Amino acid sequence: MTEPWYKTAVIYAVDVEKFADGDGDGVGDFRGLTQRLDHIAELGATCIWLLPFYPSPRRDNGYDVSDYYGVDPRFGTLNDFAAFVHEAGERGLRVLIDIVLGHTSDTHPWFQAARRDRDSSFRRYYKWSDQPRPVPPGRDIAFPGEEKSAWTYDEVAGAYYYHPFYHFQPDLNMNEPEVQSETLRIIDFWMSFGVSGFRLDAVPLVLGLEGPLDEIIDDPHGVLRSFRAFVDQRRSGSALLGEVDVGPQHLAEYFGDGDELQMLFDFLLNNYMFESLATERSEPIVRALSHLPSTPHGTTWVNFLRNHDELNLGWLMPEDRDLVYEQFAPDEGMRIYDRGIRRRLAPMLGGDARRIETAFSLLFSMPGVPMILYGDEIGMGEDLSRPGRDAVRPIMQWDNGPNGGFSTAPADKCVRAPIESGPFGFRETNVAAQTGVEGSVLESVRDLIKLWRQNPCIGQGTCRVFETEAPEVVAHTTSVQSSSALAVHNLSGREVEAAVTLHELGPFTLSPLHGHADVRPEGVQRHVFRLPPYGYAWYRVVPTNGEET
Ligand code: TEU
């Protein structure tokens, strides 16, 4: 049986505002993005995840929506959006759009109506209280240091409203049937443009299962199932990707029996991958893999190195987080919210192309499908002069021309000042400079995507982790039916020998697929790999009894 498309997807995350400006006003837009689609297609991605592009005051990068049925006029029109989806489809690229169901902007007409009139039906769309309610233990507000409370008094309403995120994002009451119907209307509207699915923002908070208000909606997973049933019935094969950052014991609940979300971001593995990269030890990754629940039929993890938010290390023990801080965020100003790092991948890895390549290879080897944040495919940096999480959201660097090719507008009109200086500035780090250059981050990522797409057993099926007798080395296989791929990664900057015994696999030989290692068989199942610093290698496991293992 063929797998659904999203189980073999390579997802590329785009912030329209920062990607490419097609009309020269200094703001990225759908025309610009459409003109740059070849870059995404040639990279080998198969699916674009669009960060919110709706009309919005953009006080939270668009996660404060003021109209769910439109396009921010600075990014273009609904026609431009439709043309983009069409052109993406022409290149075999699907489109997932971000949908923010947990809250609106405080400028949204629903909230404006709700605050003005206690008897308005919109009043019930939000969560009100006469007094701020205490935050239950262990359930923090999202942005400590930027917000003090999850309750803000509204003079006009004469009441406090609940907001787990910023005070300008009043929380929607998903317990209200009318809010659920609004959600389906919004989903229906965007599906008519031919999008292949949705990235659902902050799902556990939408359902009340997490967050600073201990009020679970009625039958939360029934509500998720009803959303899923709706998209399935609207167009079968559509996908829901959830931002679900919960403990391993609760993760599987969001897949349901394969009838809730088909894809979940794997935040847990993300934390431990960074602990492994920082400490150059395989053990954290191995531990994370052992904690992950199995995924029901028709569902998958979405793995990532960086996303558009802070690198949230909330799942690590404080002392382990400190180890990551020491390596990747030595200055206090690189840290945020007492739990994370506001940096991009490449600078954290010292701009070392080999190490960045190995990090991507590791990502691609994990069970699930990969997601790449725009700009990481060329090793872009962060701009620490920007406030908060904005540091990790610079404009895309296309070439060494004005504004890095992002826009023809004068630099001071650009939505963000380009990163000018240093190795991550646009003159050094850009798409044009890396295209066709062997060993560049761009060409390495492209090769890895090709490897991943050509070998369906990579990242799929059963994952087995093997002892390596070298704490720096991760060795694991993924297998689909009779076909297996072995990946061996050296996380350290030293040359390392690792002995791996592939028990459980029967007699086999290893056929090299990608990467570099000297391999020496020792007996039937034991192989010794000599890996260069930050080196990795991929093999197809070929059974010697004539059948694939
Ligand atoms: O994030 C929601 C969210 O839960 C994260 O910010 C979370 O606090 C963090 O990842 C820890 O897991 C989404 C968006 O990704 C973010 O940009 C928005 O600011 C936020 O929603 C509010 O809409």
Pocket lining: 142 vs ligand 1, CB cutoff 6 Å? yes
Residue indicated by tokens 């967050």: 211
The predicted pLDDT at position 481 comes to 85
Count of beta carbons in the 10 Å neighbourhood of residue 271: 23
Q: Are 417 and 370 in contact (CB under 8 A)?
A: no
Could you tell which of 49, 59, 243 is best to mutate to test the pocket of ligand 1, judged by most ligand atoms within 8 Å of the CB? 243
Within 10 Å of residue 546's Cβ, how many Cβ atoms?
A: 6
Q: Is 165 in the pocket of ligand 1 (CB under 6 A)?
A: yes
Could you tell me which residues come within 8 angstroms of residue 230 by beta carbon, excluding any fewer than 6 positions away? 184, 187, 188
Please work out whether the CB of residue 260 comes within 6 Å of at least one atom of ligand 1: no
Token pair for 199: 């990235």
10-residue averages of pLDDT along the chain (549 residues)? 91 99 98 99 98 98 98 98 98 98 98 98 98 90 94 98 98 98 98 98 97 95 98 96 97 98 98 98 97 96 98 98 98 98 98 98 98 99 98 98 98 97 97 98 98 94 95 96 94 98 86 96 92 98 70
Predicted local distance difference test score (pLDDT) of residue 138: 84
| Cα→Cα distances 284→44, 274, 366, 408, Å | 30, 9, 13, 46
Question: Is-catalytic flag, 243?
Answer: yes
- Tokens representing 237 are 């094969």
Q: How far is the CA of 202 from the centre of ligand 1 (A)?
A: 6
Q: Which residue has the tokens 């205490």?
A: 134
Cβ–ligand 1 distance for 63 under 6 Å, the answer yes
Residue 259 a catalytic site member: no
Determine the Cα–Cα distance for residues 64 and 67; give it in Å rounded to an integer: 9
Output the six-digit token pair for 186.
């919004």
Cα of 144 from ligand 1 centre, angstroms: 13
How far, in Å, is the centroid of ligand 1 from the Cα of 510? 43
Q: What is the number of the ligand 1 atom nearest to the C-alpha of 312?
A: 11
DSSP bridge pairs for 466: 475
Q: Kindly state if the Cβ of 171 falls inside 6 Å of ligand 1.
A: no
| Pocket flag, ligand 1, residue 60 (CB < 6 Å) | yes
Q: Which atom of ligand 1 is nearest to the CA of 63?
A: 23
pTM of the model: 0.98
Q: Which atom of ligand 1 is nearest to the CA of 309?
A: 17
Which of these is catalytic: 80, 210, 243, 377?
243
Q: In terms of DSSP bridges, do strands 369-373 and 300-304 run parallel, antiparallel, or are they unpaired? A: parallel
Please give the pLDDT value at position 1. Answer: 62
| Helices 283-291 and 267-279: angle between axes, nearest 10 degrees | 170
Tell me which residue has its CA closest to atom 4 in ligand 1.
202
Task: Give the per-residue pLDDT at 367.
Answer: 97
Q: Is the CB of 100 under 6 A from ligand 1?
A: yes
Catalytic residue of the set 106, 201, 383, 472? 201
Q: Which amino acid is at 393?
A: R
For residue 413, what are its two tokens? 């009109």
What's residue 503's pLDDT?
84
Distances in Å between the alpha carbon of 244 and those of 112, 267, 302, 494?
Answer: 29, 8, 11, 36
Query: Of the residues 205, 269, 309, which should be mutated to test ligand 1's pocket, given the most ligand atoms within 8 Å of the CB?
Result: 309
φ/ψ (deg, to 5) at 526: -95, 135
Largest CA distance in the chain: 79
302: helix, strand or coil: strand
Question: Is the beta carbon of 431 within 6 A of some atom in ligand 1?
Answer: no
Output the CA 309–ligand 1 centroid distance in Å. 7
Residue nearest to atom 20 of ligand 1 (CA): 63
* DSSP code of residue 338: T
Task: Give the per-residue pLDDT at 547.
Answer: 53
Mutation probe of ligand 1 site: the residue of 56, 165, 321 with most atoms within 8 A of C-beta: 165
pLDDT of residue 549: 47
Which bin fits 101, alpha (ψ -120 to 50), beta or left (φ > 0)?
A: alpha
